[in-house]
Amino acid sequence: MKPLARYAALHSYVELGPQLGIDPIGLMRASGLDPAGVSLQDRWVPAAAIAELLERSAAAADRADFGLRLAERRRFANLGPLSLVVREEPDVRSALTVMSRHEDMYNEALHTRLTEQNGIAAIRLTLDTGQPGDTRQSVELSVGVLHGLLQGFIGTDWQPMEVRFTHSAPPDLRAHHRIFGPQVAFDQDFNGILTYTADLDAPNAMADPQLRAYTQQLLNPIRSARPATTSERVRELIELLLPTGRCSVEQVARSLGVDRRTIARHLAAEGETFTDLLDATRAELARHLVANPRRSLTETAELLGFSTPGNFSRWFRKQHGCSPIQWRRTRSMPATTE
Q: If you average pLDDT over every residue of the chain, what do you get?
A: 84
- Assess whether pLDDT exceeds 70 at residue 38: yes
pLDDT range class, residue 225, cuts 50, 70, 90 = very low
With a pLDDT cut of 90, the percent of the chain lying above it is 39
Specify the pairing of strand 162-164 against strand 44-46: unpaired
Q: What is the pLDDT of residue 18?
A: 94
22 — pLDDT class (breaks 50, 70, 90): very high
Whether residue 53 is predicted with pLDDT greater than 90 in this model: the reply is yes
Least-confidence region, from 30-44, 53-67, 159-173:
30-44
Averaged over 211-230, what is the pLDDT?
Answer: 53
- For 308, phi then psi, to 5°, come to -140, 155
* Rounded alpha-carbon distances, angstroms, from residue 272 to 119, 223, 268, 333: 53, 23, 5, 36
115 pLDDT above the threshold of 50: yes
pLDDT score recorded for residue 30:
92
Residue 174, pLDDT score:
95
According to the per-residue pLDDT averaged within each range, which of 60-69, 237-246, 298-307 is highest? 60-69
User: What pLDDT sits at residue 240?
Assistant: 67
pLDDT in the model for residue 295: 76
Give 275's contacts (C-beta < 8 A, 6+ positions apart): none
Task: State how far the Cα of 169 lies from the Cα of 64, in Å rounded to an integer.
Answer: 9
CA 236 to chain centre: 12
Instruction: Select the more confidently predicted residue: 30 or 244.
Output: 30
- Give all strands (DSSP E) within the chain, no chain letters: 4-6, 44-46, 110-117, 120-127, 162-164, 184-185, 191-196
* Section 284-311 average pLDDT: 83
pLDDT greater than 50 at residue 308: yes
pLDDT tens, position by position, 231-284: 887 887 787 677 666 788 887 887 676 788 988 998 999 999 999 999 888 888
Express as a percent the part of the chain with pLDDT over 70: 85
The answer on pLDDT for 335 being more than 70 is: no
- Please tell me the distance from the alpha carbon of residue 83 to that of residue 279, in angstroms, as a whole number: 35
| Predicted pLDDT at 62 | 96
Residue 222 confidence (pLDDT) above 50: no
pLDDT at 217 (0 to 100): 55
Please state which of the ranges 18-27, 69-78, 110-119 shows the lowest mean pLDDT. 69-78
pLDDT of 171 = 92
**Would you mind telling me the total number of residues written for the chain in this entry?**
338
Return the pLDDT at 161.
96
pLDDT band, residue 332 (cuts 50/70/90):
low
More confident residue, 336 or 192: 192
Q: Say what the pLDDT of residue 254 is.
A: 73
pLDDT at 35 over 80: yes
Longest dimension (CA), the chain: 79
Q: Residue 82: pLDDT band by 50, 70, 90 thresholds?
A: low
